Amino acid sequence: MIERVLLTSHIAGFVLLLLDPFCEFLWLRRQGTARESARSTRVLWVFNRIAPYGYVLLVISGGFMVARGWDLTSPWILGGFIGYAVVAVVPVLLVRPRGERAERRKAYVGLAGRFGALMFITYAMVLKPSWTVLAWAVAAFAVGSALLATAATGPRPGRRLAARVVFLAAAVVAVSLWRWQASILPPSFAPAGHSGHAGMAGMRSVTDLTQPPTDAPVVQVALTAEVKRVEIGGIGKDAWTYNGTVPGPALRVAVGQRLRVTLTNRLPEPTTIHWHGVLVPNAADGVAGVTQDAVPPGGQGVYDFVATHPGTYWYHSHNNPSAQIERGLFGTLVVTPAAGADGAVPADQDHVITLHTWGGAQAFNDSTRPEPIAATPGRPVRLRLVNTGSTRERLSISGAPFTVAAFDSGPVHGAQPLGASHVDVAGSGRVDLLTTLAAGQELDVRAGGTTLRVVTPGSRLAVPPDKDFRLLDAMAYGSAAGTAPLPQPDRSWNLRIDESMGFFDGRLTPLYRINGTLFPNGEMLMVEQGKTYDLTFDNRSDDDHPMHLHGHLFQVMAVNGKAGTGSPLIVDNVNVGPHDKVTIRFTADNPGIWMAHCHNLPHAAAGMDLMVGYEGITSPFRAGRDTVNKPE
Ligand code: C2O
Ligand code: CU
């Protein structure tokens, strides 16, 4: 019903706008002629007064429609507008207004202005948030010139002009206030839905999905979240830290070991720890308002899980993460293969390094001018690079042949040695590099103007020119031989990502809607244990979206319809580039309620989050202003 009303108003707005200039000109033409007093001229005059409000109708209904997930940006709709505009302009040009030259010129300016407004006001903002300012400037010019062009021609022009300006201003203010108010999240809501209660037959709560007892050896770790003054690259700030450092302690366990982390919160705000990429039981996932209540200031929490997959991971707060991670609440976790299985790289040549921008400069771990890492010639070196930032990093790697041993925690089979290469790492993603340097050789990794050198005695930094670097295509790297394909999906979802400018929880911000919705209003993607699912991210925005799924590994099946040809890319995060279409496949093998979201944290904080829920699992937790929880 409401959809119908919206569509009808939208179309009515258009019709008014299309008729507007035509009638205006007919009317202008009749002025000073014998037909000036004809009844049809009076009708034209009345219509001319109403028609400009077509803009208001169009903008208001368009805003509603976008908010409800209508796709107003398809080339068909935009193409249609241009067609309409031509159809409306041509007759006007044929009719030709009479009268003074100055008056005619005003009339043409008004005409141009109106069509400018038609094209821009509603659609430019929807297409590209950065166009908003331009859109409003054009709209202001358009409406202003339209008003000037017509106000001077009727009776009591001054009053009519004033009335229109007041009406339009009031409409703009009213719509903005209403959008702002409507965007404010309820004081308490259930981000994980309420499909049932844990007490109901067959339903289980996320709080029951804990690590089952094992005789695995326990590694105890204490992490204290606290404010500490830290200095990186000459810029000091009161960072939010784990155990006083940024990044926090580099944790390392072997497959089969049980990690038991006690978090003590000495921050002024509730916090949690999420184990990014680690296949933890759901209760240890650390998402405030979904799998736990955030640990309040002065409180303690425990995370308990067995490490099952070797790889490079990181941990970070998942309560108000966009603010808390930015202030420094992150650290690394490396899971090494079970003892004895990792003979290749000596422990002192296995390095884990975070990439994070700090006051505008790229830092490797806690330094924007990292000390060279000394390597023993002839022995393998592993560099585990962790992008803890929100945006894609392009690493420029040169100096010696190397291989990419893993993307995220997924090992590359049959990795070919590479020369000077650019390697992209999505926000929150990791790459592991492997090299063995001869005496006098070094490997250089450059990111955002900072260079990390792995040196041998006598080696020198010599970066080749940019044109010598080749961009690595992760989908075509390594060998597919001997890897079993995942089964065909039991269900697929298409997730359309659109960009607009608007309010989220009372803030004016770029919005990235997924299928027209913002958190927590999206559909929960319901899965069943043991089944296989496809998600296609159809990015229609001009931005990268590093899409991350909690609690699972997924395979990147296709990028823009092209299947991978190399070692299967099995990751926990994939960068979905501007206007790219990326399909991922995962098997539901870890029951719980898991977040799937963009790891560009400002995007996530503006509603770019979804939930993947297993049938039969519920969460008792809530989020919102009246709770301690802020998952996004
Ligand atoms: Cu790094 Cu929701 O996660
Ligand atoms: Cu995003």
Please report how many Cα atoms fall inside a 13 Å half-sphere around the Cα of residue 50, on the Cβ side: 12
**Sheet of 545-549: strands edge to edge?**
525-527, 609-614, 593-598, 545-549, 573-576
Cβ(430)–Cβ(387) under 8 Å?
yes
Average confidence score pLDDT of the chain:
86
The pLDDT of residue 320 is 97
* Ligand (nearest to CA of 315): 1
The pLDDT of residue 16 is 77
598 alpha carbon – ligand 2 mean position (Å):
5
The pLDDT of residue 4 is 78
Is it the case that residue 588 has pLDDT exceeding 90?
A: yes
344 alpha carbon – ligand 1 mean position (Å):
31
| List of E strands, 438-528 | 443-447, 450-455, 470-471, 491-504, 507-514, 525-527
288 alpha carbon – ligand 1 mean position (Å):
11
The pLDDT of residue 436 is 97
Cβ(285)–Cβ(367) under 8 Å?
no
Band the pLDDT of 82: cuts 50, 70, 90: low
Peptide bond into 487 cis (omega under 30): no
Strand 617-618 and strand 300-306: the pairing is unpaired
* SS3 call for 154: coil
Cβ(278)–Cβ(573) under 8 Å?
no
Strand partners, 541: none
Select the more confidently predicted residue: 33 or 113: 33
Please report how many Cα atoms fall inside a 13 Å half-sphere around the Cα of residue 256, on the Cβ side: 7
Which tokens is 134 given?
């331009």
* Residues whose CB is less than 8 angstroms from the CB of residue 108 and which lie 6 or more positions away in sequence, other chains included: none
Closest residue by Cα to residue 391 from 445, 334, 335, 322:
322
The pLDDT of residue 499 is 84
603 in ligand 1 pocket by Cβ < 6 Å? no
* Ligand (nearest to CA of 537): 2
The pLDDT of residue 574 is 98
Closest residue by Cα to residue 579 from 75, 62, 64:
75
550 in ligand 1 pocket by Cβ < 6 Å? yes
Closest residue by Cα to residue 584 from 526, 631, 537:
537
Residue closest via CA to ligand 1's atom 1 equals: 276
Cβ(422)–Cβ(396) under 8 Å?
yes
128 in ligand 1 pocket by Cβ < 6 Å? no
Locate the ligand 1 atom nearest the alpha carbon of residue 550 and give its number: 2
Strand partners, 549: 596
Average pLDDT over residues 266-273: 98
Cβ(409)–Cβ(312) under 8 Å?
yes
258 in ligand 1 pocket by Cβ < 6 Å? no
The pLDDT of residue 566 is 96
Q: What is the rounded CA–CA span in Å between residue 436 and residue 375?
A: 9
Q: Which of 155-164, 234-243, 271-280, 325-334 has the lowest mean pLDDT?
A: 155-164
- Summarised one tens digit per residue, pLDDT across range 335-348 is 999 865 555 798 89
599 in ligand 1 pocket by Cβ < 6 Å? yes
Which tokens is 447 given?
């990111």
428 in ligand 1 pocket by Cβ < 6 Å? yes
Q: What is the rounded CA–CA span in Å between residue 145 and residue 251?
A: 65
| Burial class of residue 156, CB neighbours in 10 A (0-12, 13-18, 19+) | exposed
Phi and psi (nearest 5°) for 393? Answer: -110, 135
Q: Which of 50-64, 515-529, 557-571 has the lowest mean pLDDT?
A: 50-64
CB count within 10 Å of CB 565 equals 12
Q: What is the rounded CA–CA span in Å between residue 311 and residue 610?
A: 26
What is the DSSP-derived secondary structure letter of residue 262? E
* Ligand (nearest to CA of 391): 2
274 in ligand 1 pocket by Cβ < 6 Å? yes
Locate the ligand 1 atom nearest the alpha carbon of residue 277 and give its number: 1
Strand partners, 517: 514
460 alpha carbon – ligand 1 mean position (Å):
38
Provide the whole-model pTM: 0.81
Greatest distance between any 2 Cα atoms in the chain: 103
CB count within 10 Å of CB 465 equals 7
Q: What is the rounded CA–CA span in Å between residue 353 and residue 355?
A: 7
CA dihedral 596, 598, 601, 606 (to 10 degrees): -90
* SS3 call for 218: strand
* Ligand (nearest to CA of 600): 2
Is it the case that residue 152 has pLDDT exceeding 80?
A: no
446 in ligand 1 pocket by Cβ < 6 Å? no
Band the pLDDT of 175: cuts 50, 70, 90: confident
Select the more confidently predicted residue: 478 or 358: 478
Q: Which of 40-49, 123-132, 246-255 has the lowest mean pLDDT?
A: 123-132
Select the more confidently predicted residue: 150 or 417: 417
Q: What is the rounded CA–CA span in Å between residue 316 and residue 411?
A: 23
Question: Cα dist. 429→316, 465, 547, 583 in Å?
Answer: 13, 27, 10, 17
The pLDDT of residue 592 is 97
Select the more confidently predicted residue: 281 or 200: 281
| Burial class of residue 537, CB neighbours in 10 A (0-12, 13-18, 19+) | buried
Band the pLDDT of 554: cuts 50, 70, 90: very high
* Ligand (nearest to CA of 429): 1
382 in ligand 1 pocket by Cβ < 6 Å? no
Band the pLDDT of 384: cuts 50, 70, 90: very high
Cβ(12)–Cβ(57) under 8 Å?
yes
430 in ligand 1 pocket by Cβ < 6 Å? no
Locate the ligand 1 atom nearest the alpha carbon of residue 597 and give its number: 2
Band the pLDDT of 615: cuts 50, 70, 90: very high
Q: What angle, 0 to 180 degrees and rounded to 10, lies between the N-to-C axes of helices 2-30 and 39-50?
A: 130
Closest residue by Cα to residue 67 from 631, 607, 600:
607
Q: What is the rounded CA–CA span in Å between residue 420 and residue 418?
A: 7
Select the more confidently predicted residue: 180 or 134: 180
Closest residue by Cα to residue 142 from 120, 127, 161:
120
Q: What is the rounded CA–CA span in Å between residue 350 and residue 375?
A: 10
Is it the case that residue 153 has pLDDT exceeding 70?
A: no
Closest residue by Cα to residue 383 from 395, 391, 393:
395
128 alpha carbon – ligand 1 mean position (Å):
26
Cβ(363)–Cβ(233) under 8 Å?
yes
388 alpha carbon – ligand 2 mean position (Å):
15
327 in ligand 1 pocket by Cβ < 6 Å? no
Q: Which of 232-241, 278-287, 402-411 has the lowest mean pLDDT?
A: 232-241
| Burial class of residue 262, CB neighbours in 10 A (0-12, 13-18, 19+) | middle
The pLDDT of residue 166 is 75
Locate the ligand 1 atom nearest the alpha carbon of residue 276 and give its number: 1
- Summarised one tens digit per residue, pLDDT across range 434-478 is 999 999 999 999 999 999 999 999 999 999 999 999 999 999 999
Average pLDDT over residues 343-364: 90
Q: Transcribe 192-247 into DSSP letters.
A: T--S--TTSTT-EEGGG-PPPP--PPEEEEEEEEEEEEEEETTEEEEEEEETTBSS
Residue closest via CA to ligand 1's atom 3 equals: 276
Exposed e or buried b per residue across 330-348, where buried means at least 16 C-beta atoms within 10 angstroms of its C-beta: bbbbbbbeeeeebeebeee
